Amino acid sequence: MSLAPAWLRERRMLPDRWRDEHTRTLIAEDRAGESIGAGAMWTSRVHPDRYSVDLVVAPGHRRAGIATALLAALADLQPAPKPFIWGAAENDPAHEFVATLDARTIQRSPLNTFHTSRAVRLRPHDDVAPAAAVSRVALEQAWADMYEWTHADWHPMGPDARGALVEDLWDEIDPHLSSIAISATGAIDAVLLVFIDGGRPVVAGETVSRDTTAGTRLLEGSVRRTFDQLAERWVAETLLDAHETDPHFAPLFEALGPVTRWHRIVEFRP
Ligand SMILES: CC(C)(COP(=O)(O)OP(=O)(O)OC[C@H]1O[C@@H](n2cnc3c(N)ncnc32)[C@H](O)[C@@H]1OP(=O)(O)O)[C@@H](O)C(=O)NCCC(=O)NCCS
């Protein structure tokens, strides 16, 4: 049973100084000492360059400047000034709030549910194999290489973040549903992983380097195989963890979707 008020449940509120001095949480109270708002900021081990932030204000107290005050108070607690990052569905009213902070859109990701039956719109590729065909170390290396370049331009990884990135990877994916593209020399050219956490699976990946030859074609074959595998296991729907800026994945969104709902990530300085 939770003792938190209903409006605070399901928000990402970490205990103050949970991991380090960058994890800070504040509660706003009214004159009677009742909690009416909360704000938290933290840094990610993979992306230490910005503060992630979450704010929530009790419905009866909104539009009274409380979130603005919480954010200013969090900003004052920063051990080192960094931009803030936050994201939500594009039509979430909280985007109106961050717009007042001159928030800048840095990324968009599809929010749609994708039907695995759409795989028939994509062509198979002979270089594509199950990810289980390579070692765990090789797969983790390919994943980290892929992740690093696909985030470099908008949300760079920290210098020592590769270990943190792949720490739990092997336990979260299904290597038989996941696909890789392997070149004639045995190098992994593309990686497409299926993350399983009990809900709908999440499919994520790209080519292993930015300038892989025929990258879109390799990714098309990888998505084709993985969606076929999911469909064979009677998984009708999946989510994509992909970005509008992914040069080889984004061209496939139209065939798989089209995308009608986007998650928008913004950056701002409070
Ligand atoms: C988003 C949220 C935190 C804003 O809290 P708040 O205390 O109402 O925000 P403020 O009063 O400081 O708003 C400052 C300005 O932001 C804009 N704004 C805030 N909420 C808005 C909304 N729902 N629609 C349009 N503009 C909004 C307004 O310009 C407002 O100034 P104004 O009231 O003088 O017009 C609150 O609506 C909430 O708890 N939402 C649910 C949780 C959530 O989505 N959190 C994510 C936020 S990072």
Model pLDDT for residues 183-224, shown as the tens digit of each residue: 999 999 999 999 998 889 999 999 999 999 999 999 999 999
pLDDT average, residue stretch 34-43 = 94
Give every CB contact of residue 227 below 8 A, 6+ residues apart in sequence: 114, 116, 118, 119, 122, 203, 238
Spell out which residues line ligand 1, taking CB within 6 angstroms.
53-57, 62-68, 86, 93-94, 96-97, 100
Bond prior to 201 in cis (omega within 30° of 0): no
- In the chain, what are the domains? 6-82 (3.40.630.30), 113-261 (3.40.630.30)
pLDDT average, residue stretch 118-147 = 97
Compute the distance from residue 91 Cα to the ligand 1 centre, in Å: 14
Task: Please give the radius of gyration of the chain, using alpha carbons only, rounded to the nearest integer.
Answer: 21
Given a cut of 70, is residue 118 above it in pLDDT?
yes
- Residue 137, helix vs strand vs coil: helix
Q: Quote the mean pLDDT of the chain.
A: 95
Task: Give the range among 7-11, 88-92, 139-143, 203-207 with minimum mean pLDDT.
Answer: 7-11
Q: Whole-angstrom Cα distance, residue 247 to residue 3?
A: 46
Q: What percent of the chain has pLDDT over 90?
A: 89
Residue 11 pLDDT: 78
Compute the distance from residue 46 Cα to the ligand 1 centre, in Å: 29
pLDDT average, residue stretch 96-121 = 96
pLDDT average, residue stretch 213-236 = 97
pTM across the whole model: 0.93
Compute the distance from residue 62 Cα to the ligand 1 centre, in Å: 6
Residue 2 pLDDT: 63
Q: Which of 230, 155, 46, 247 is nearest to 239 (CA)?
A: 230
pLDDT band (50, 70, 90) for residue 1 = low
